[in-house]
Every structure is written in structure tokens, then in C-alpha cells.
Structure 1
């Protein structure tokens, strides 16, 4: 990571994964090109789970090359570090113009990138457990209907897991005084 001053610890990265609505799964296709797509992903300890149809481009790629990188983007916000009057003063001073780049025309963000190998889950009990975790995250108010849905849909669904082998996390955030935080 180039910006070590923005690097965050593993626990921070796990929190980003848990609160995001999706992750971008990146892989290399059969022609050697990057292929990325957003998927609804959940985490249980060190394992990421997602599901898909039984066939398709990603299913084929996973068979040939299970290595993936998954990017998760947490909160993104344009900071309001200065009032209009303060910005009008900054623009008058050549020595302060750099503040426009570093503190005005920027974003606060948090992200995590997990790497690992995709594995198709074959065990029915583990498939159901993974789908239950997924459904509890995305459709928690519908869990009364989970058993009927799983009975009807499990046979037409691939369920995958990725053991997190490497996790990096990064953040840019300003405090109440407009100073960048660790």
C-alpha cells in the first residue's frame, strides 16, 4: 500500500466488509482480461459467502482460475472542511491554494480488499448455513419464509466461499478541525 498513513488494521477492514451492501469480485477471464462484478457478499469469521446461478461467465472463470480479489467500499463523503468565507480567503493566498486539492476537492472514504480462492460449496448443510447468513443480512424481515425459499431454490443455486487469505484496509477521514485522521 502506497499511502501507509491511511492504512487501517484488519478489524477495521472486517467492519467495512460487514457494513457494505456488496463487494466487487475481480477475477481473470479466459482471455486473460480482468473481469469484475458486484455481488451481495456476507462474512462469517474469516469466510466470505455469495451465491450465483449454476452457469455463466463467472462460474466458468471460477473453474479455471479460483483466485479472486474483492473490493468493498464503505462510507464515501465529500468533506466540508471550510466555509465559503474561508475558501474565499484561501483562494487569495498562493501559498494556501494547495489546500483546495488536499482538503476541498477530495473525498473521505473507507475501503477493504480481500484476496483468496473461490470454492464451490458442495455440502448441503454448509450451503444452507451460507444462504441463511446471506438472507439474514439482506432480507432479515423475511426469515419466516426462509425454509420454503431454500427448499425451492437451493437446487438451482451455486453457493461459494472465499477464505480471506489477505485483507488490506484504507481510510481517509477528517476530524472536526479539518485535519486528516489516522
Structure 2
């Protein structure tokens, strides 16, 4: 298929085929880049929380740190929203334009798992803050431990689902190799 370039300056654009749509493989590559961005976002989320927790001594410092934390969380949330919207577009394009319902369904499952992970991560941060405020509260420490265990299980499920996506999309990568061999 003939390739046409996307408009310059659009950071979300990927190469388009002559039919005006990104190929399924291009969409998958973009999905994987977005997953990397999401992982980086979780790192930033954790870093912001640690700065908030570590520096929260004294009333004035707590207020400043909390306001900085809230601002950082708002920025990270906007990034997660953008990533999610783009992944939904990828999922819909794979299903509706390219007739890749199986791959689309796996991406949808990953989206659902990631949504749950984000909620659990926020719950864990709240629980960790409460545990830091009441270090002798065994119930609060148990809540933190349970949330961490649930997040670990969820991370494992996401990894397994990403593996499912890899296996389901192998034929797309094989087709690309075949196409390059024929050139």
C-alpha cells in the first residue's frame, strides 16, 4: 500500500496509508508508546506523592506540599485522560476501520484494567497518607497492605493481557516482514 505522510507538527499523528487511515500495525505501535507514557505517569504520580509525604512537617509546609501535590496530580490526570482518549480512538479504529475485533477487545480490557489500577493507586496513596498520620494504627496498615496486594495482582493481569495482545497481533508484524521482503 502506498504511504502518505501526516501533517507536520501533529504529535499524535502516525503515518497514514492511501486510504487515509493509520494501519493496524501503526495503531498498535502508537498504543504501545501510550502505554509507556502511562507507566511514566504512574512514576510521576508516585514521585509527587512521596514529595508530599516526605515534606509534610509543620502546618504551613503541609499546606504548601498538599497544594503542590494537588497541582501535580491534576497535571498527571490530564495526561492520563489524553492517553485514555487516544487509546479509545485506537481501539475503535482497529474494530471499526480495520475489522480487528479481537485486538480491539484486548485493548478495551487493558483500558478497563488501567482504569481500575488508577483508582486503586489513588486509594493506596490516601491509605498511605492516613497510615503515615497514624503509624500505630494496625487497621490502616492492613488496608495499605491489602491495596498493595490488589495492585500487584492487577499489574500482573495487565502484563498477561499485554502478552495476549502481543500474541493476537503477531500476524500483523509477520505481514510487515513479508511486505518488506517483497520490496
Range into which the TM-score falls when normalised by the shorter chain: under 0.3
Q: Which of structures 1 and 2 has the larger relative contact order (alpha carbons within 8 angstroms, sep 6+)?
A: 1
Which has the larger share of strand?
A: 1
TM-score (norm 2): 0.24
